[in-house]
Amino acid sequence: MSARSLALASAAAILTLQAGTAAAEEKKDKEKWETTIVRDKPGPVALKPDKAYILVYSPFFVMPTLMKLPNAEQAAAHAAERAEELAKERAKWEKKHAAWVREMGYLKKADSSVKRPKEPQEPTEENFGFPLYEQTRAVTLGPQNRFNKENGSAFLQEVPPGEYLFYGAGMTCACLGTVSFEAPAGKVVSFEYSVPFAEAHRDLPKEERPKTPFDLPPGTPPTIA
Q: For residue 223, what are the β-bridge partners?
A: 194
CB atoms within 10 A of CB 54: 22
3-state SS assignment for residue 200: helix
pLDDT at residue 43 tops 60 = yes
Average pLDDT over residues 201-210: 63
Largest CA distance in the chain: 99
Nearest by Cα to 137 from 189, 36, 66: 66
Please compute, for residue 3, the number of CA atoms within 13 A of its CA located in the half-sphere on the CB side: 0
pLDDT at res. 99: 97
The gap from C-alpha 152 to its chain's centroid, in whole angstroms, comes to 28
* Alpha-helical runs (H) found in the chain: 3-29, 72-106, 196-203
3-state SS assignment for residue 135: helix
Could you tell me the pLDDT band of residue 146, with boundaries at 50, 70 and 90?
confident
Average pLDDT over residues 6-17: 42
pLDDT at res. 174: 77
pLDDT at residue 39 tops 90 = no
- Quote the DSSP letter at residue 175: T
- The answer to whether the CB of 174 falls within 8 A of the CB of 168 is yes
